[in-house]
Amino acid sequence: MADGNGHKPISELEPEMAETCDGCEVPTTANCESCGMPMMSPEHYGGGNSENKYCAQCCNSDGRLKSYEEVLEGLMGLMMNSRGLDRAAAETAAGEYLATMPAWSSR
């Protein structure tokens, strides 16, 4: 069924009209289990190890996960700088967000 502008939904297009990309590679990414950041290349993974579940920001240089307090502080700084939150609001928002992440869900 066409929309108000006469356009058909993709599901109704003829197969030959649909765009395809043979040989295209969609990059696979993992998300940090501590902060959710996408890890798209080895340097994004903690310790440069693409098997690590945590990102470089949430890990020490050897790839070990930083303490909750260190990760919380880092996320608070990001929220204060990028969202203009004051420290108290950033602490609340960062704490609520980290509680949803696998690394901190049992805290």
CB 101, CB 33: distance < 8 Å: yes
**How many independent structural domains does the chain possess?**
1
Among residues 82, 76, 80, which one has the least CA distance to residue 96? 76
* Predicted structure pTM score: 0.72
Average pLDDT over residues 71-77: 97
13 in any annotated domain? no
CB 76, CB 83: distance < 8 Å: no
Percent of the chain residues topping a pLDDT of 90: 71
CA–CA–CA angle 34, 61, 53 (5° rounding):
30
Range of the domain at 48: 27-98
pLDDT of residue 107: 84
5 in any annotated domain? no
Burial class (CB in 10 A: 0-12, 13-18, 19+), 81: exposed
pLDDT at 57 over 60: yes
107 in any annotated domain? no
Average pLDDT over residues 42-52: 95
pLDDT of residue 24: 67
CB 35, CB 57: distance < 8 Å: yes
- Tokens 């501590």 -> residue: 34
